Amino acid sequence: MMNEQQVDLKQAALIGMNWIPCGRNNVQEVINPATGHLLGTVPKLSKEHIHNAIEIAEQAFNAWRKTSTNHRCAILTKWYQKIEENEERLASIITLEQGKPFAEALGEIRYAASYIKWYSQPTLQDNGSIIKGDVENESLSIVTEPVGLCAAITPWNFPAAMLTRKAAPALAVGCSIIIKPAPETPFTALALSELALQAGVPPGLINVVTGDAPVIGDILCSSKKIKKLSFTGSTLVGKKLMQACAPTVKRLSLELGGNAPFIVCNDADVDKAIDGAMQSKFRNAGQTCVCANAFYVHDSLYERFAEGLEKRIKALSLGQGSQPHSDIGPLINESALEKVDALVRDAKEKGGNIVCGGSRWSESDRWYLPTLITQATVDMRCVQEEIFGPVVALVRYSDEDKLIAQLRLQDTGLAAYFYSDSLSRIHQLAAELNVGMVGINTGLISDAAMPFGGVKSSGVGREGGRQGIMEYLETKYIKLCY
């Protein structure tokens, strides 16, 4: 892990081939969440800068869309290689600005790179077809074309992977992109984009704009030149962006909040379920859209599961992401800590039993203690809302049909997990759970080759896999008479 002095942060925005430095006053501060110290600054770009970025990215698109698939994929492969060569530095930047342990940050860089590798396969773009019409001398063909200039608004929790998951398919099919990274984590986006330029991505295809989120968001959403917006973040902001994009009828991909149930059925392998629960829940200190949120444990296994989980949770070590053995880093900021604490207090008031944790860490109030709540009930906020913190609440159930019926009414539908050894139940539950992704006997489901996304308030569209490429393509029908 490199320290703050060694990483050499790019404290500038990227428009075309120009790095826009920080002015004297108009800057956005980036704080290391583990120390509360200033890590660096990026510019608060003016409206003119954003309009300029749109012009430049549109020009770049007009040249790029005419290049061959092989050419684009070869450049993506070089970007992938650059990321591989620089993985220690990139992971250090994530740890410094986001807080996750270095080993997890390295995992995220490899995960991010895997999207570029996946989308650098030319064969993925074999989407057209030609058929002979009913009438002689007539051919009917379908071709795909890049949607055009795209905008991406990326989150702080996975600052590398959520960027490449959008930028790689966009560039692969011939689009250009303007990225607005989360204000908490711009340096990862800037470092990745710098490597893209070094890899030979032509200037103007990847632009990184920093500054005032509502101002930038308004310009990107209302611009007629931007044909698509991809956003990962909260459902609340996703709905606002959807409205803001309505006048220009933009294509949208929205990966929004989840509230993934984790169900331990009566025939589950409890030890494996505990492993899966730990992997899913404590990844990035619980600050993951797709992580297990509310745990439903069958009455017959409840005590065994709770006891096993308690031991594992108590063994987690807290510390700065830069320290070799830390499992849990700080939460991203004060409002995240306050939200998690409010949910735990609500559970306590409603009769929840705090088995361990339940407060901030005595050594630093930037961490929330890994917390286990038993006797949780469905009226508690930590069961109904996305926690985004290291808190496990165990709800006891005995009637599976009733549980599934109740889960189907949930407003969100990103992911669901369950543990069972019965083949018929596996098929039945996988079909009944009304979500975009299901993990069965596993707590980790993310994979560049597979479509990631949710239903209902958890979003629209898919990222990753073959489905992810279609999000950046338009379909054109051509009828030729000869």
> Could you give the CA distance from residue 240 to residue 242 in angstroms, rounded to a whole number?
5
Rounded least distance, CB 472 to ligand SIN, Å: 18
What is the pattern of x (binds ligand SIN, CB under 6 A) and - over residues 421-460? -------------------------x-----x--------
Q: Which is nearer to ligand SIN, 152 or 161 (CB)?
A: 161
Q: Which is nearer to ligand SIN, 16 or 464 (CB)?
A: 464
- Asked if 289 is an active-site residue, the reply is yes
Rounded least distance, CB 468 to ligand SIN, Å: 12
Angle CA(197)–CA(201)–CA(204) in degrees, nearest 5? 85
Contacting residue, 95, 223, 288, 458, with ligand SIN by CB under 6 A: 288
What is the pattern of x (binds ligand SIN, CB under 6 A) and - over residues 200-239? ----------------------------------------
Pairing assessment for the beta strands 27-31 and 38-43 based on DSSP bridges: antiparallel
Does the protein bind ligand SIN through residue 253 (CB under 6 A)?
no
Contact call for residues 148 and 227 (beta carbons, < 8 A): yes
Q: Which is nearer to ligand SIN, 289 or 331 (CB)?
A: 289
- Asked if 85 is an active-site residue, the reply is no
Q: What 3-state DSSP class applies to 460?
A: strand
Element (H, E) at 205: none
Length of the chain counted residue by residue? 482
Note the helical H segments in 381-445: 381-384, 400-408, 423-432
Does the protein bind ligand SIN through residue 161 (CB under 6 A)?
yes
> Could you give the CA distance from residue 209 to residue 49 in angstroms, rounded to a whole number?
8
Does the protein bind ligand SIN through residue 92 (CB under 6 A)?
no
> Could you give the CA distance from residue 392 to residue 86 in angstroms, rounded to a whole number?
35
Question: Which is catalytic among the residues 221, 245, 265, 289?
Answer: 289
Burial of 69 (0-12, 13-18, 19+ CB in 10 A): middle
DSSP 8-class letter at 39: E
With contacts defined by CB under 6 A, name the span among 62-70, 154-162, 311-319, 405-413 that binds ligand SIN.
Answer: 154-162
> Could you give the CA distance from residue 294 to residue 280 in angstroms, rounded to a whole number?
12
Rounded least distance, CB 294 to ligand SIN, Å: 17
Contacting residue, 79, 119, 158, 397, with ligand SIN by CB under 6 A: 158
Q: What residues form DSSP beta bridges with 392?
A: 372
Q: Which is nearer to ligand SIN, 28 or 157 (CB)?
A: 157
Element (H, E) at 420: none
Binding site for ligand SIN (CB under 6 A): 157-158, 161, 255, 288-290, 446, 452
The catalytic site residues sit at 255, 289
